Structure formats: C-alpha cells, structure tokens
Amino acid sequence: MSDLLDELADVALNALHQAYAPYSKFRVGAAVRMDGQTFDGVNVEVASYPLSVCAERNAVAAGIAKNGRTLEAVAVATEASPPSAPCGACRQVLAEFAADPSRVRVIAVNDRGERREWTLAQLLPDAFRGTDLP
C-alpha cells in the first residue's frame, strides 16, 4: 500500500500546479485510485465561492467518467503545513464510493515532504451512506 500511496502523492503534487485558485490562492491537487486506475483533479475556484469545486471531487468525477466505481485510496496535495485533509464535503463524496471506509487510505502531502495519513473511516466516522436511505 505504501508504494500506491507514494504514487498517488506524486500524481497529486503534479496536479497541484494546475489548480485554479485566483482568489484564495489555496491550490489543491488530488489523486484517487478507483478500480485499479488513477485519476487526478484540481480545485477550480470561481468568484462565487459556493460554485467552486474541490480537487478531490474533481478526481472522483474523472474516475466516474471512466467507469470507476470503487474507491481504493486518495492523495491530497496542498502547500499548507501541515498538509491539509479533505474538507467535509469531499469526505462525504469519498465515502459514497468506498466499499469499506476503514480500508481506504487517505494521504495528505505538501511540496516540503510533510505527510499525514488516515483511513477514510477515521476522517468521517459513521458516514451517511446509501444504505442509510429508506
């Protein structure tokens, strides 16, 4: 799993430089592994902040567009120290595609080599999932 997380971290760090964050200057790159394939994404910020989209959600959308359905691992790259974890909305989206959130590793990195790691279940315990719907 360590090799996979290192690979995803590299993809996320490379994506970070393509982020569009002209207002906040908080650039984010993300990489997800879904069904054995890697997909990247960046945050896209617009003047009407609520319409902005996070890197993690863009990476998941890229995976879904290529028929990815099962999330295996996630990397998020920021320039923050310590590296930033996914926001709450992204945690919820990630949980939607995790068969077992306790087995999905999430890594946060920055370009200074700092690293933090969790499981998705640690980041979003007792997530609301499709099985909770009547």
Q: What is the CATH number of the domain that holds 112?
A: 3.40.140.10
Q: How many CA atoms lie within 13 A of 3 on its CB side?
A: 0
Is the whole model's pTM more than 0.85, yes or no?
Answer: yes
- pLDDT single digits (tens) 79-112: 999 999 999 999 999 999 999 999 999 999 999 9
Catalytic-labelled residue, pool 7, 45, 56, 79: 56
Query: Domain for residue 61, yes or no?
Result: yes
* Residue 97 within any structural domain of the chain: yes
73 is a domain residue: yes
Answer whether residue 46 is part of any domain: yes
Q: Is the pLDDT of residue 2 over 90?
A: no
pLDDT computed for residue 110 by the predictor: 98
Q: What is the total count of domains within the chain?
A: 1
Q: Is 56 a catalytic residue?
A: yes
Kindly state whether residue 134 falls inside one of the protein's structural domains: no
The enclosing H or E element of 14 equals helix 2-16
pLDDT at 1 over 90: no
Answer whether residue 110 is part of any domain. yes
What is the pLDDT confidence band of residue 11, given thresholds at 50, 70 and 90?
very high
pLDDT in tens, 46-59: 999 999 999 999 99
Whether the CB-CB separation of 30 and 59 falls below 8 Å is answered with yes
Say whether pLDDT at 131 is over 80. yes
Three-state DSSP class for 134?
Answer: coil
Residue 94 lies in a domain: yes
Alpha helices, H only, 42-134: 55-65, 88-96, 120-123
Three-state SS for 67? coil
Question: Which two three-digit tokens encode residue 28?
Answer: 């984010």
Mean predicted confidence (pLDDT) in 64-91: 98
Domain that holds residue 114: 2-129
Tell me the C-alpha distance between 76 and 61, whole Å. Answer: 15
